[in-house]
Amino acid sequence: MASLASGIVSPRKITTSVERVAKALSADVVRIRYDIGPDWIGTPSIFFRIILTDKASKPQNLREIAQRVSLRLMDEAKTDESGLHAYFSFRSRSEQAKLKEPAWA
């Protein structure tokens, strides 16, 4: 468990929450990964890396879907209650296929 100024964060509970969101939004979400640590000013944070389907990543869809995924993750993982500042990075499936970054796999 990670210890933060506001209390204890259970990676197991966060992982379960993230898996629940990925499953519920599977029409648009390929996978979600995360890391917990300080941000650039030292604030306890959670950094989400979300791979979306290519359809969800199209400009006409991205804003609405990114907002829906972000809000659902914050709600399910209880980031505010845990004292974690949430950061979100999005990438399409085809973008990840080209970049092949292990942290996103």
Measured distance CA(89)–CA(23) in Å, rounded: 18
pLDDT one-digit tens code per residue, 54-79: 999 999 999 999 999 999 999 999 99
Q: How is residue 35 annotated by DSSP?
A: E
DSSP H helices, the chain, are 11-24, 59-77, 79-82, 93-99
Examine residue 14 and state whether it is found in any structural domain, yes or no.
yes
Average pLDDT along the chain? 92
Q: Please report, in tens digits, the pLDDT of each residue of the chain (105 residues total).
A: 454 544 567 888 999 999 999 999 999 999 999 999 999 999 999 999 999 999 999 999 999 999 999 999 999 999 988 889 999 999 999 999 999 999 999
Examine residue 104 and state whether it is found in any structural domain, yes or no.
no
CATH number, domain containing residue 53? 3.30.300.30
* Number of domains the chain is built from: 1
Examine residue 105 and state whether it is found in any structural domain, yes or no.
no
The pLDDT value recorded for residue 1 is: 45
Q: Which domain does 41 fall in, by range?
A: 2-94
Share of the chain above pLDDT 90, in %: 85
